[in-house]
Amino acid sequence: MTDLAHASVAELSRLLDAKKVSAVELAQLFLARIESHRALNAFLDVRPGATLAQARAADARRAKGETGALLGVPIAHKDIFVTRDWASTASSKILAGYMSPFDATVVDNLKRAGMVCLGKLNCDEFAMGSSNENSAYGNVLNPWDPTAVPGGSSGGSSAAVAARIAPVATATDTGGSIREPAAFSGVTGTKPTYGRPSRWGMIAFASSLDTAGLMTYSAEDCALVFNAMLGFDPKDSTSLDRPREDYTRHLNDGVKGLKIGVPKEFFGAGLAPDVEAAVRVALAEYEKLGARLVEISLPNAELGIPVYYVIAPAEASSNLARFDGVRYGHRAATYADLVDMMKKSRAEGFGPEPKRRILIGTYVLSHGYYDAYFIKAMQVRRLIAEDFKRAFAQCDVIAGPVTTSVAFGFGEKAADPVAMYLADLYTVPGSLAGIPSMSIPCGFGAKGRPVGLQLMANHFEEAKMLGVAHAFQRATDWHRRVPAGC
Ligand code: GLN
């Protein structure tokens, strides 16, 4: 029988269908693996009782004759999604132990499809970061190399999937937080079009950018889970009211005759040679499979980081205003009056990175600076989106590196916020444009650390993008490599 811990969602689904394994057995297996890989610090909250209750419910549904690709398949959720049966903290002290009265729509959709929740995954505080070093609950280790960061902010999600302690995990991407950790941890990380997944119950960071997505072993698994996860949600005012889609429909289309745009700006001086080499080999593989590479230009992409670091903190400063010690979350033990209570609660509850963002955001939104920074950033954001529009007139998908280097070591960038912000140089432009984008494993670079290939597609073309990824994954086995001891 297939080695269950290394089986894909598609394989687990077939085994459940064939009654070769039960949802309870799968839940027990992964709960045991979570325990034996505790040192990774990927999970923040594990409650075997709640997990096994969901697994028993899935088995009962199957016993009654119900089928469904995901019925009984385990999943873990980034601790940015609120969950009724597990604490929801956004990896912040300000929400320590917080129990939500409801499940996020993404969580709920997957639960209805019968997925069994394994628990909540560590991340950067309020999804702010690129290394998971901003979590109030400690670093997550990269399963490929415990001296390297797993990437962030969805570092718990990428590490859990890389170490095969969860077959799939939810994640969120505001400026790169799915693709960057996927690249650093050697897994497939996919962000759909902004507005496809509901943001309801996703603890807000930057509302015009926040997009839920997945860490999986493969593009095929991602398509299967997207089928249940994505869709219109009347509870989210930015949710797109479009018909449901079958995201698996282009998986076997191949890439013959496809035009792959290669942005010349993504291969500049900042790109490490080991990453460039692996990405070039991957691009050559696509040529072998019948695709044509065309050089494209995204002239405003280099402005992505400064634009993002105005818009995202501006939105964050507003979103984080709700943590005031009154409604929920941490409240200071002693205070003089209401204002003092709010000040102390926020000072004690937030870590340094959210504080930094609140300061920047409040500054760029304040009278006198709003036009110079915020409005200007919004204008350049439009230019970046138009770059992509022009590019997609010349090609079907875009491919290039995800990150400038392989995973860096702990502490290497932690003291220099700007160096850390630059980790998202190639991911932020796609976020600002709201297009679907993903990272697939394509080799290894310095110190044996994984390299990711980024694929981007036009709005609503995630099914095509997943097909392009699947073609690569049928021809190569990078996505099947597993770290030693996992
Ligand atoms: N690293 C970026 C930041 O710190 C992106 C984070 C994200 O996508 N959530 O904001």
Q: Are 457 and 436 in contact (CB under 8 A)?
A: yes
Phi-psi region of 191 (alpha: psi -120 to 50; beta: other; left: phi over 0): beta
Residue 414 pLDDT: 87
Between CA 174 and CA 271 the distance in angstroms is 22
Residue 302 pLDDT: 95
Between CA 371 and CA 364 the distance in angstroms is 9
Dump the DSSP string for 330-383: ---S--SSHHHHHHHHHHHHS-HHHHHHHHHHHHHHSTTTIIIIIIHHHHHHHH
Confidence band, pLDDT 50/70/90 cuts, at residue 2? low
Per DSSP bridges, beta strands 450-457 and 437-444 are antiparallel
Percent of the chain whose predicted confidence (pLDDT) is above 70:
100
Exposure letters 17-47 (e unless 16+ CB within 10 A, then b): eeeebbbbbbbbebbebbeebeebbbbbbbb
Q: Are 107 and 72 in contact (CB under 8 A)?
A: no
pLDDT of 1 above 60 = no
pLDDT of 205 above 90 = yes
**Omega cis (within 30) before 153:** yes
Tokens, residue 440: 């697939």
Confidence band, pLDDT 50/70/90 cuts, at residue 415? confident
Between CA 321 and CA 343 the distance in angstroms is 11
Confidence band, pLDDT 50/70/90 cuts, at residue 246? very high
**CA nearest neighbour of 167 among 223, 105, 221:** 221
- Residue 438 Cα to ligand 1 midpoint, Å, equals 15
Mean pLDDT of the chain: 97
Report which ligand 1 atom has the smallest distance to the Cα of 309.
10
At which residue do the structure tokens 């969950």 appear?
A: 83
Confidence band, pLDDT 50/70/90 cuts, at residue 92? very high
Tell me: the pLDDT tens digits for 73-86? 999 999 999 999 99
With a 6 Å cutoff on the Cβ, whether 175 touches ligand 1 is yes
The residue segments making up the domain with residue 9 are: 2-255
Q: Are 217 and 161 in contact (CB under 8 A)?
A: yes
Tokens, residue 43: 């999970």
**CA nearest neighbour of 414 among 93, 187, 139:** 139
Tell me: the pLDDT tens digits for 351-363? 999 999 999 999 9
**CA nearest neighbour of 476 among 446, 452, 442:** 442
Q: Are 7 and 164 in contact (CB under 8 A)?
A: no
Residue 269 pLDDT: 86
User: How far lies 165's CA from each of 76, 158, 191, 206, 237, in Å?
Assistant: 9, 10, 21, 29, 35
Between CA 330 and CA 349 the distance in angstroms is 6
Q: Tell me if 25 is assigned to some domain.
A: yes
Q: Tell me if 113 is assigned to some domain.
A: yes
- Residue 430 Cα to ligand 1 midpoint, Å, equals 13
Confidence band, pLDDT 50/70/90 cuts, at residue 417? confident
Between CA 111 and CA 310 the distance in angstroms is 36
Domain of 49: which CATH number?
3.90.1300.10
Report which ligand 1 atom has the smallest distance to the Cα of 175.
8
Please tell me the total count of domains within the chain: 1
Compute the half-sphere exposure of residue 270: CA atoms within 13 Å on the CB side of its CA: 14
With a 6 Å cutoff on the Cβ, whether 462 touches ligand 1 is no
**Residues whose CB falls within 8 Å of the CB of residue 134, separated by 6 or more in sequence, listed in order:** 91, 124, 125, 128, 152, 153, 351, 352, 353
Q: Are 263 and 476 in contact (CB under 8 A)?
A: no
Q: Tell me if 11 is assigned to some domain.
A: yes
Between CA 88 and CA 290 the distance in angstroms is 46
Between CA 94 and CA 258 the distance in angstroms is 49
With a 6 Å cutoff on the Cβ, whether 153 touches ligand 1 is yes
Q: Determine the residue of 126, 153, 158, 211 to mutate for testing ligand 1's pocket, defined as the one with the most ligand atoms within 8 A of the Cβ atom.
A: 153
With a 6 Å cutoff on the Cβ, whether 133 touches ligand 1 is no
Residue type, 105: T
Percent of the chain whose predicted confidence (pLDDT) is above 90:
97
DSSP label at residue 329: S
Tokens, residue 191: 């962000």
Tell me: the pLDDT tens digits for 261-310? 999 999 998 899 999 999 999 999 999 999 999 999 999 999 999 999 99
Q: Tell me if 278 is assigned to some domain.
A: no
Please give the model's pTM, rounded to 2 decimal places: 0.98
Element (H or E) spanning 294, and its range? strand 292-296
Between CA 288 and CA 292 the distance in angstroms is 9
- Residue 176 Cα to ligand 1 midpoint, Å, equals 6
Q: Whose CA is nearest to atom 4 of ligand 1?
A: 129
Residues with active-site annotation: 78, 153, 177
Q: Tell me if 247 is assigned to some domain.
A: yes
Between CA 230 and CA 225 the distance in angstroms is 9
Residue 442 pLDDT: 98
259-263 sheet: strands from edge to edge: 43-45, 116-121, 74-78, 168-173, 211-216, 188-191, 437-444, 450-457, 397-401, 259-263, 292-296
Residue 328 pLDDT: 87
Tell me: the pLDDT tens digits for 114-137? 999 999 999 999 999 999 999 999
